[in-house]
Amino acid sequence: MHVQDGVRLPKGVAGGRRKFTTLVDLCRARAEAEPEVRAYSFYADGRTEWDALTLVDLDRRARALAAQLTELAPCGTRALLCFEPGLDFHVAFFGCLYAGLIAVPVAPLDGTRTSLKVGRIESIVASCGPELLLSTGLTFAKCLAVVEESPVLADLVRVAVDETDPALAERWRPPGIGINSPAYLQYSSGSTGEPKGVTLTHGNVLHNLALVHENLYRPSDEDGLPRPPSVSWLPSHYNMGLIGGVLDPLYAGRSAVLFPAGVFVRSPISWLRLISQLGRADSCAPNFAFDLCVRRIPTAQLAKLDLSGWEMALVGGEPVRAETLDRFCEVFAPAGLRRGSLVPGYGLAESTVMVTSAVVGEGPVTLRCDADALTKQRVRPVDPPGGRRLVSSGPVSPSITVVIADPGSLQECADGEIGEIFVQGPSVGTGYWKRPDEVFHAELPGRRGTFLRTGDTGFRWDGELFVTGRAKEVIIVAGANHHPHDLETTAEAAHPAVVACCVLGVDDGQREQVVVLAEALGDADREEIAMAVRRTVHTGHGVRVDDVLVVAPGSLPRSSSGKLQRGGCRDAYTAGALGSAGIESGSGR
């Protein structure tokens, strides 16, 4: 679905009340209205400011780069953006848009040819056929051998954006683009196999920025109080990082404080410390990040935190678990954290980033459901302490349409019936780049227009959307459907040494076997862990676990944002790569 007439800036954000039809117009208007505003700050170590960009800096450098790029490639050319954490990415991204090129953000190279990142980047190049490779002079110097030894990467024209002559800005001319022109391709950080890049137009992104702002409304908006700074460690090539750390601050008229994901993973306190220092702040992260804070931040450090100004903590990017939210609130309440600041949401790259979110200030809405009924695609609420607690992803905005339908017949489900989630609205991308398929063009009986077939399952209840899992990841045992995320929650609680789990359904040709890959602390007894996992999963779900493989923390494949990659875990398991690495198996297989 195309956005026909653009979007306006939120009330109170300087830049005019006209409707914007491209991200270029948006950036230029914001830079003209508030040129000296420090829009982006980068903290390389998570503690001190390393670099900063004002709006006028961003606009000037983007125009200079665009003038250079225009001489190298025509409008519509794809350009690979390969950057280590920092603000050069912001310049490169807008430089591409200012030149009418299609930006393709990818993970940074690390200088090693054996890196999985190199193979992934090469497959993305094969997918979208870029002509340019944008990075910094330092990265090109560090990764020169990797780039030149790759037949795919060596042919790309290299542009070091930090070496562009600023004087070129005067040569810039507005590109011939419009609301339906592609802005960038979003390749999912967690996908495996042949990559698929979601084509997102300027209109798609503008609508989603407006949707994000609308969904995250809070009473202070009416009082004319600006949105607080955004704190983010999410990589810029990841959809939540791109919107939250690059585009939303521009649209919402707020500043962004950014630091590397590696700093957060090594020291989770760095995230909360920055939020505490700012006083008022918003921040978003996947579920695992909140879990990591609970496990890795000592109680002694809580006294140094003041989280009372954390207005909105958006939890998305992966299934949101009630137990994680409970633990996070319990541990950090003494530091001033309010449960109402936790805002679960649902989204996916195919719809830019956000589809729904809970209401800021109200706290997570949960529903305790009968576990057996869920396996039969029905919702039956039960009283505590029984059942399984599901977390709402919030109400659906009037500007989009969400339908729950049977994945086979495509007939709409009644409230309380689990089906596949279909989404229609201006945020939905135009399709996968050069890959015609039916995912973006599903037709539902009795509904006008086409829908995005998300592959996710869920249900509506009392006006709220509940997401239960991925349709293609459902594990079927004895005719009953089980979502891996539910089994993982149970398996992770089976033994105190377990720090993360990935549950797989592996077809052995006769039936689907249930496999649990468990990361556990090194001094724990592997057989004891395996027995505990088997027993707990069977007791909680009636599911017999066929294999438990216990590995060291950090052994399982993860995306750049730190999420476990189910496809990568399956490939490594079936290839015997985990066991062959000398890691002990709790099943002795």
- 575, pLDDT greater than 90: no
Q: What is the DSSP letter of 7?
A: B
In Å, how far from its chain's centre is CA 309?
Answer: 24
Question: Which of 112-126, 243-257, 514-528 shows the lowest per-residue confidence on average (mean pLDDT)?
Answer: 112-126
Cα separation, 135 vs 121, whole angstroms:
14
For residue 493 the two structure tokens come to 């609680």
Question: Which of 168-182, 191-205, 442-456 shows the lowest per-residue confidence on average (mean pLDDT)?
Answer: 191-205
CATH 3.50.50.60 is the classification of domain 267-472 = no
Cα separation, 43 vs 51, whole angstroms:
7
User: Which residue ranges make up each domain of the chain?
Assistant: 1-266, 267-472, 476-581
Q: Do domains 1-266 and 267-472 have the same CATH topology?
A: yes
Across 31-50, average pLDDT: 98
Report residue 190's pLDDT band, with 50, 70 and 90 as the boundaries: very low
pLDDT at 192: 39
Alpha-helical segments (H) within 306-349: 322-332
Cα separation, 213 vs 314, whole angstroms:
12
pLDDT at 379: 97
pLDDT at 374: 92
- 583, pLDDT greater than 70: no
pLDDT at 479: 67
Q: How many CB atoms lie within 10 A of CB 98?
A: 29
Taking Cα atoms as reference points, which of 316, 337, 312 lies closest to residue 327?
337
Cα separation, 261 vs 362, whole angstroms:
29
Secondary structure of residue 177 in the 3-state scheme: coil
Q: pLDDT tens across 139-158, in order?
A: 999 999 999 999 999 999 99
Three-class SS string for 509-569? CCCEEEEEEEEECCCCCHHHHHHHHHHHHHHHHCCCCCEEEEECCCCCCECCCCCECHHHH
Cα separation, 250 vs 83, whole angstroms:
20
pLDDT at 567: 84
Cα separation, 428 vs 307, whole angstroms:
35
Report residue 474's pLDDT band, with 50, 70 and 90 as the boundaries: confident
> Do the Cβ atoms of 480 and 375 come closer than 8 Å?
yes
What backbone phi and psi angles, to 5 degrees, belong to 530? -60, -45
Instruction: Please give the share of the chain, as a percent, with pLDDT higher than 70.
Output: 95
Across 559-578, average pLDDT: 86
Amino acid letter, 483: H
pLDDT at 191: 35
Q: Is the pTM above the cut of 0.85?
A: yes
- 584, pLDDT greater than 70: no
> Do the Cβ atoms of 202 and 22 come closer than 8 Å?
yes
* Helix H or strand E encompassing 312: strand 310-315
Cα separation, 164 vs 65, whole angstroms:
6
- 3, pLDDT greater than 60: no
For residue 420 the two structure tokens come to 């596949």
The pLDDT mean for the chain works out to 92
Q: What is the DSSP letter of 381?
A: B
pLDDT at 110: 81
- 588, pLDDT greater than 60: no
Alpha-helical segments (H) within 216-366: 219-222, 239-242, 248-252, 261-266, 269-278, 287-296, 322-332
The class (CATH top level) of 1-266 is alpha beta
pLDDT at 585: 42
Task: Measure the CA angle with vertex 504, ends 499 and 510; round to 5°.
Answer: 150
- 257, pLDDT greater than 80: yes
Query: Which residues are paired to 547 by β-bridges?
Result: 515
What backbone phi and psi angles, to 5 degrees, belong to 53? -135, 125
> Do the Cβ atoms of 451 and 442 come closer than 8 Å?
yes
> Do the Cβ atoms of 530 and 548 come closer than 8 Å?
yes
Report residue 335's pLDDT band, with 50, 70 and 90 as the boundaries: very high
> Do the Cβ atoms of 394 and 462 come closer than 8 Å?
no
Name the residue with tokens 């491209």: 22
DSSP secondary structure, 389-444, as one string: EEEB--PPPTTSEEEEE-TTT-PBPPTTB-EEEEEESTTS-SEETTB--STT-B--
Question: Which of 110-114, 313-317, 530-534 shows the lowest per-residue confidence on average (mean pLDDT)?
Answer: 110-114
pLDDT at 531: 96
Taking Cα atoms as reference points, which of 400, 456, 441 lies closest to residue 423?
400
Across 417-421, average pLDDT: 97
- 9, pLDDT greater than 60: yes
CATH superfamily of 476-581: ANL, C-terminal domain (3.30.300.30)
Cα separation, 482 vs 374, whole angstroms:
8
pLDDT at 318: 81
pLDDT at 528: 95
